[in-house]
Chains A and B, each alone.
Chain A
Amino acid sequence: MKLSRIIRRLVMLLAVSALLLGLPAAATAYASSASTGTGWIRLAHFSPNTPAVDVYLYSFGNSNAQIVLDHVAYGTVSPYESVTAGDYSVAMRAAGASPTSPPVLSTSVTIQAGHAYTVAGMGPESGLRLQVLDDALTTPVGQSLVRVIQASLKQQVVTVTFGSTVLVSNLHFASVSSYQAVLPGTDNVTVTAGSTSVHSSVTLAAGTVHTLVILDGANGLEVVNLEDASGSGQAPAGGVSTGFGGTAPHGPGSPVPWLAVIGAGALLALTGGLRMRRSGLRPHRQLRTGI
C-alpha cells in the first residue's frame, strides 16, 4: 500500500537524522593515555676504595650497549637517562677495559614506565655489588622527600639530621635510608659519626626529591646533595583558562526548532495521505455527502 510505504519512509528519515544527530557526540571522545612508555635510569659509583670504572647499560638480549659511561670515579652520579620501559642489564668494567671483556660486575634491572631507578656500585672493593634503588617521583603536598646513602668507609656508622629533623640514625656503610618527608626550607644537614660531625647547608624545596650521599672526602666526610626530581611545589588547582573562544566553532544551536518543522511536515503529509486514502477507498461516502 502506497500510504504505509510513505509512512515507513518518513520513519526511516527521522531515524537517520536522529543517528546523524548522535555523531558529533561520539567524535568528542578523548584519548587519555598519558604514557610514553619510558622510565629513567642513572648510574653511580659509591664504593670508596674501588678505582674508576666504565659502566654499560644494555637492553636485555642486546649485546650493543645503549649507554656507556667512561671512567666513572667514586662519588660520581650520572644524569637520569630516559629509556623505553623493559628489562636491562648494567655491567661494570675496569676503566679502559675492552667493551667485549667479561665485566667485573653486572646486574639486571626492570624499568617500569614512569618510574626512576639508580643503579649504584656499593660496598668495599672486596665486596662490591650493584644495587638497584627505586627513586621516588612524588612528594606529599607542600613537602620535600629526602633519603641518605651512606658511602663512607672511614666512618662506618652515621646519623644524619636536617635542622632538628633526624633523617636517619646509625646508618651503616653501604646502606640506604628510606625516604622521609620534611618541611621545605634551607637548613644545615649535620652528619655525626662518633665524636665528629660535619655541617652542610642544604635547600630542600617543596615538591622536590633529594638524596644525600655521605662520601669520604680528602678532609673527612663530604655531603653531596642530589636533586633526584623536581616539580611545582604548589600545584595549581584544576585546568587552565587559556582561551576566549575567538577561534572556536560556533555551537550548533538547539535541534528542537528543526525537529518541530519536521514534525509539522510529517503531520501535514499524514493528513493529506489519510484524506487521499479516504477519498480513494470510499467513493460511496463522497457520493452520499454530495447529495
Chain B
Amino acid sequence: MPARRPAALFSLAAGLVVIAGGTAGLLLTRHPAQIVRPVAGVAALPAPTGPIVAPPQSADPRPVPRPVSLTIPLIGVQTSLITLGLTSSGALQVPSSTAVAGWYTGSPKPGAIGSAIIVGHIDSYTGPGVFFRLSELRPGDKVFVKRADGTLVEFRVTLVQTYLKDRFPTQAVYGPTPDPELRLITCGGAFDYATRHYLSNIVVYATEVS
C-alpha cells in the first residue's frame, strides 16, 4: 500500500505533464502564418521619366505602341515586360522567369481603351518574385507603363482584390472596360503544399490618369 500511492501520484503528474506538452506542441504548430515575410529593404523607386501621354479618344483610336516596361515606385517594382499568350488548355501563360512580368497579347495594350492584363510571379521556389509585394498596393498608388516609343502611361490603383482561383471573376478581370485600365495579377492566399499551388490570385485594378 505505501508503494501504490506514489505510483498513482506519479502517473497522474506524468499524465498532466504529457497533456501540457501535447497542447503546447499543438498550439505552437497552428500559427505558421507568423513566419516573417522577408520585406527586406526594397526602397521605393522614383517615378520614371518620359513624356506622359493623354488617354486615348474613343473616336477612330490610333494604334497604341506595345508596352516594354513596368514601374511601380511604391513597392520597388521595375521590370521589362515580355509577351504572354494562352496555354494549350486555354489558361494564361506566365513568365518563365519569376523576375519579370508579362503582358497578355490577347488583351488591349496598356494605355489603349480597355483592360490590359499584366502578370508576374509572387515567388520562385526559393524567394520573392517580381510581384511579391503587389498586395501592399492601395487605391491611389501610381503604376507606370513605358511603351516602345518611349512614352509613359500613368495609372492609379483603384482596387486590390484577392480571389480564390476556383472562383476567379473572369468577366471583371478580362471583360471590356470603356476607359484605359490595367489589371496586375499574381498569386496569393494560402499555399497548397500537396499541389504546390497558391489557392488564390491577387488582382490590382488601375485606371489611366486623365
Contacts and interface: CB of A to CB of B under 8 A. Distances in A.
B30 A231 contact: no
A273 B12 contact: yes
B42 to A, nearest CB: 13
A240 B196 contact: no
B169 A34 contact: yes
B15 A236 contact: no
A102 interface: no
Contact of B8 (A209, A233, A279): A279
At the interface, is chain A mostly helix, strand, loop or mixed? Answer: mixed
Contacts, number: 301
A207 B188 CA distance: 28
B110 interface: no
B22 A235 contact: no
Contact of B112 (A135, A230, A243): A230
B49 interface: no
A192 B167 CA distance: 47
A96 interface: no
A42 B58 CA distance: 10
A6 B8 CA distance: 14
A139 interface: yes
Q: Residue among A23, A231, A265 with the most chain B CB within 10 A? A: A231
Interface in A259-291: 259-262, 264-273, 275-276, 279-280, 283, 286-287, 290
A269 B19 contact: yes
A20 B27 contact: yes
B162 A236 contact: no
Contacts of A138: 171, 175-176
A268 B15 contact: yes
B17 interface: yes
Which 3 A-B residue pairings sit nearest by Cβ, starting from the closest?
A: A269-B15, A230-B114, A272-B11
Interface of B: 1, 4-5, 7-23, 25-27, 29-35, 37-38, 55-61, 86, 89-92, 94, 98, 104, 106-108, 112-115, 117, 119-129, 131-132, 139, 158-159, 161-172, 174-179, 185-191, 193, 196-198, 200-201, 205, 207, 210
Given A34-B159, A262-B18, A271-B15, 10 more contacts: A137-B176, A208-B114, A230-B115, A236-B174, A240-B187, A243-B198, A245-B125, A247-B127, A272-B8, A276-B12
